[in-house]
Chain A
Amino acid sequence: MSALRAPFFWVLLVVVGGVGLLPILTGSDGTREDVFLVLMLVILASSINIIMGYTGYVSFGHIVFFGLGGYVAFYLMLNHQVHFVAAALVGGIVSSLIAFLLGIPVLRLRGAYFALATIGINEVVRSFVTNFDPFGGATGMFFNYQVYDSYGGAKNALWFAYDAILIVALLCTITSLLIKKSKFGLGLLAIREDQDASQVLGIDPSRSKVVVYTISAFFPGLAGAIFFFKNGIIEPGPAFDLLRSIEALVMVMLGGYGTVAGPIVGAAVYEQLRAFLITNPTFSSLHLFVAGFLLLLIVLFVTNGLVGWLRQRTPQLRRYLE
């Protein structure tokens, strides 16, 4: 746990915690909605980074765990009156469990084959849910407002959801740091660099990969549960939205894959950019074009992303920017 004594741990805590406290201090609904979205994207991007940036497995369809967590939690809250916190935890655990079971066969694939398989999984799950009546099929499920009564009404529930996403975002980024700084994390990096060589060095890649995939599915599961609780409605389209998955990948690349800070910076910058483009009349329909173009530029010129580039340029900064 020496990672918790690293200077960067405090940077992480102050930055994410500080931004996270902003809406709570100001009490502004608008700020809360903006920061909620950024924190949710931080969770998605950081989780993808754990499997993609550390381990080298590009999980294109990672959004499937967001949708699954959301659906499971929503179902429990709606039909079994399970408390939101318990339902969200179950959602996260179910996501992890499914990642564990799928990971055993799918993580045998390498490179593009794995990436394609993850897209396939997302599409299969989406089709399944669309035809699964207990989950409401194609129309999904929705709360009536009485559900929020147990949380002090709809307005309070929104704040409650915000607190939850802030806590999960902190837990997720701290987990990411702990992994990066651990022996387990070093093993993941070795797998990313050369899986066969890592095995000759004593690493069990199959086991490490399944473990890390399971972890990386947990936080999106929680985030999905929180998001759809706040939303009050869940449908297959928004729950298993491949586009969001790809946007999260762009955030990881933009911020710097394989770093702890990268996905955080990437999510914040990308969301600001997207918000600007979407509200700008000239660009409103072009924001995906810009995202794609951005990804192209990063891959071609700044492979290490913003954080990676900064770390390369200023070695003094490295302790504060992992």
Chain B
Amino acid sequence: MILQVQNVSKRFGGLVALDSVSLEVQEGEILGVIGPNGAGKTTLFNVINGVYAPQEGLILFRGENITGLPPFKVARRGIARTHQIVRPLGELSVKENVTVGACFGRENLSLKAAARVADEVLAFVGLAAKTDLLAGKLNVAEKKRLELARALAMRPALLLLDEVLAGLNPNEVSEMISSIRRIRDQGVSIIMIEHLMHAVMKLSDRVFVLDHGAQIAEGTPEVVSSHPKVVEAYLGDPQAALRLLEGSA
């Protein structure tokens, strides 16, 4: 068991963003997290990696309590994440961006060793040709890959992917899907938030469904997509329901 989230609640004033959420991630597993907009998915990531401290509940990473630790401590223990809205370090080069991840991540590498890791990771995500470019000059798809590269350079045990497929064209989506598979094959556990249903259903070992901050279903992609509550949650957005059904077919 790499991650256990136990009865975690997070409220912003009167808004309950997470309502006693519990989930578990097995070693080497891909857990998909889906749910309508505003369901609390990104808040879940923010609570796991320490951006927010939850008001209630426990987060255990490899059996150790990491609840309320600041993000940099969580990062050094081996949880990396990407951001839904990309956050490149714009005035630094692509390689420097990734070197930062390698330097300050789990392995706490020296600058020299980190630069080697950066080259490796940039080749893996297909940005090798752009290493000297300023990160701010990349296009959206490249910035998404940069987010992924930076997170990978941290050599995480658990990777939190926040909508890495959003905004990519079909070609880029299938490239990214195969990248994610290869990352898992290297032994990294993954939680991915995704709106692109066919991708979630294809990639995930299990799917976790949030709605209004609460868990409404959990299970294999097949079970989840036929779950009445899930279909109901998505009925507010008929297109999403349709996509969901198509994805499972």
Contacts and interface: CB of A to CB of B under 8 A. Distances in A.
Contacts of B89: 189-190, 193-194, 197-198
B243 interface: no
Contacts of B81: 200
Contact of B87 (A183, A187, A196): A196
A317 interface: no
A199 B111 contact: no
B103 A199 contact: no
Contact of B105 (A190, A196, A197, A202): A202
Interface string A178-194: 00001100110110111
A220 B100 CA distance: 30
B83 interface: yes
Interface string B159-175: 00000000000000000
Interface in A157-187: 182-183, 186-187
B104 A202 contact: yes
A202 to B, nearest CB: 3
A291 interface: no
A201 B70 contact: no
A197 B96 contact: no
Contacts of B150: 201
Contacts of A197: 83, 87, 89
B100 A190 contact: yes
A149 interface: no
Interface residues of B, number: 29
Given A199-B71, A202-B101, A193 B92 contact: yes
Contacts of A203: 72, 100, 104
A6 to B, nearest CB: 13
Nearest to B91: A193
Given A189-B96, A199-B72, A200-B75, A183 B91 contact: no
Contacts, number: 74
B72 A186 contact: no
Given A186-B111, A190-B100, A202 B92 contact: no
A190 B99 CA distance: 10
Contacts of B92: 189-190, 193
Nearest to A202: B104
Interface in B147-200: 150, 154
B150 to A, nearest CB: 6
B49 A201 contact: no
Given A183-B111, A189-B96, A194-B87, A204 B72 contact: yes
Contacts of B87: 194, 196-197
A58 to B, nearest CB: 16
B111 A201 contact: no
Nearest to A204: B72
Contact of B90 (A183, A186, A193, A196): A193
B105 A199 contact: no
Given A186-B111, A187-B104, A193-B90, A202 B96 contact: no
Nearest to A189: B92
Contacts of B90: 193-194
A182 B110 CA distance: 9
A5 to B, nearest CB: 12
Contacts of A183: 103, 110-111, 114
B70 A199 contact: yes
A200 B150 CA distance: 10
B62 interface: no
B215 to A, nearest CB: 25
Contacts of A202: 72, 75-76, 101, 103-106, 154
B137 to A, nearest CB: 12
A200 B83 CA distance: 10
Given A193-B92, A196-B87, A201 B154 contact: yes
Interface of B: 49, 51, 70-72, 75-76, 81, 83, 87-92, 96, 99-101, 103-106, 110-112, 114, 150, 154
Given A193-B90, A193-B91, 8 more contacts: A186-B111, A187-B103, A194-B89, A194-B90, A201-B72, A201-B75, A202-B106, A204-B72
